[in-house]
Amino acid sequence: MGILTNLFKPIKKDQVKTYTEFQELGTYRSIFGTFGNDIYSSRTVRSCVRALAEHTSKANPVCTDKNVERLLSIRPNKYMNGKAMLYKLRTILEIKNTAFLYIEKDSAGRPVSFYPVPYAEFQPVEYAGNLFIQFFFAGMAANSLVIPWEELAVLRKDFLNSDIGGEGNTPILEPLDVIKTMDEGLKNAVKSTANLRGILKSTKAMLSPEDLLRQKQSFVNDYLNLENEGGIASLDATQEFKEIKMDPKTGSADEEKGYKEEILEYFGISEEILKSSFKEDEYDAFYESRIEPFLVELSLELTGKIFTPREISFGNQVTFESNRLQYASAKTKISMVQLVDRGLMTPNEFRQLFNMAPYEGGDEFVLRLDTAKTGDTTGGEENGN
């Protein structure tokens, strides 16, 4: 099992025998498998997921525990950096609607690594009154790993029936199938119209079946092979060729576009985001609806799984920041300079908007000389002095 056994500490064999299936409220049975069809193989789906994952992966973790912050931002595990971890976690969530981030801890309970679990199936189980998740992996049908719930940050989408995982991506199966059928129809139409098809008629009386087959094969070999680049066929007076016109029907471009728009709407992506041709307000809407909710949920999960309730009460938490102003217009960025001399933004934060290097002392807040605190009569200027 290699990498997986190194990452995840397996439960002892004598414990596995005593696992019982986790019972949820109602009659729902919690056994989750991957989606029936590989939707990630669709170019439309992959384009949507790639856009979501790329924009999500640019978020910066901020934590009161600087060791945790360093792990999340630079090297959460030995196989990936912070950007790659967020990218993979978001991809798993969009494709499987439930994503798990394993939090490996040392003997003192401090995090030492974070790893997105690449499961094929999972099932909640109970042992000694505690909840565990049993994971099954592709190509490892006979093996599974069991991880305590407390060591997993869990992200869910379309969260309805189960208390543990999200629903499947069933609603997009039909439009994906139609798009695939239309693509295959177009491919077959090109193939069928690229070849010469017809009936070869001979005026010779009563040819034997062997002679008919020989004439047909001779015509095919001479004029319908790839070496006949001229595209011209010649016949003698005893033969006549009648071409059969092929007119295959395929879906229109508007119909295919309509089905693709269904997929984009399902993932909450616009054409402008996919093509990176978005305007400032379009990106703001995309960020607030599709990026920020993911980062909020991940922040809450990590905070609750890393820190104790007492530590949280003292202000310990994990958050993720994303600089949306990088996508603002130059006019908007320049107008932000007024926030610098009002103490709302440091000079280095303003320089970062233009991808300029910070300078020493630029992390200190500054105030204009003509401003002062309310009720403070010593500040400000008068008569230009």
* DSSP structure string for 99-144: EEEEEEE-TTS-EEEEEE---SEEEEEEETTEEEEEEEETTEEEEE
Q: Residue 269's pLDDT is what?
A: 94
Q: Which pLDDT does position 161 carry in this prediction? A: 86
Per-residue pLDDT tens over the stretch 153-171: 999 999 888 889 888 888 8
Count of C-beta atoms within a 10 Å radius of residue 92? 21
Q: Are 319 and 62 in contact (CB under 8 A)?
A: yes
Pairing of strands 130-137, 140-148: antiparallel
- The mean pLDDT of 290-319, rounded to a whole number, is 95
What percent of the chain is modeled with pLDDT above 90? 35
Element containing residue 355 per DSSP (H, E) = none
Annotate 168-192 with DSSP letters as a single string.
--GGGHHHHHHHHHHHHHHHHHHHH
90 contacts 58 by C-beta, under 8 angstroms: no
User: Is the entire prediction scored with pTM above 0.75?
Assistant: no
Asked whether the predicted pLDDT for residue 297 surpasses 50, the reply is yes
Three-class SS of residue 77? strand
Percent helix / strand / coil, the chain, rounded to 5: 40, 20, 40
Number of H helices and E strands in the chain, helices first, is 15, 12
Which of left, alpha, beta for 351 (phi over 0: left; psi -120 to 50: alpha)?
Answer: alpha
pLDDT above 90 (res 179): no
Distances in Å between the Cα of 235 and the Cα atoms of 13, 207, 216, 240, 258 are: 80, 17, 12, 7, 48
Q: Which H helix or E strand runs over 201? A: strand 198-202
Closest listed residue to residue 164, CA positions, set 123, 193, 196, 194: 123
pLDDT band at 175 (very low <50, low <70, confident <90, very high): confident
Predicted local distance difference test score (pLDDT) of residue 149: 94
Lowest mean pLDDT among 52-61, 81-90, 338-347: 338-347
* Number of neighbours of residue 106 by Cβ within 10 angstroms: 9
pLDDT in tens, 14-55: 444 555 555 554 444 444 444 445 889 888 999 999 999 999
**Each residue's pLDDT tens digit, 99-153:** 999 999 999 989 999 999 999 889 899 888 899 999 988 775 557 889 999 999 9
Between 6 and 59, where is the model more confident?
59
Given a contact cutoff of 8 angstroms between Cβ atoms, the answer to whether 114 and 76 are in contact is yes
For 204, the token pair is 């010779």
Comparing 53-62, 200-209, 348-357, which segment has the lowest mean pLDDT? 200-209
Mean pLDDT (whole number) for 316-339: 76
Give the mean model confidence (pLDDT) for residues 248-258: 68
What mean pLDDT is reported for the chain?
A: 78
At residue 162, the pLDDT reads 84
Residues 165 and 33: their CA atoms lie apart, in Å, by 11
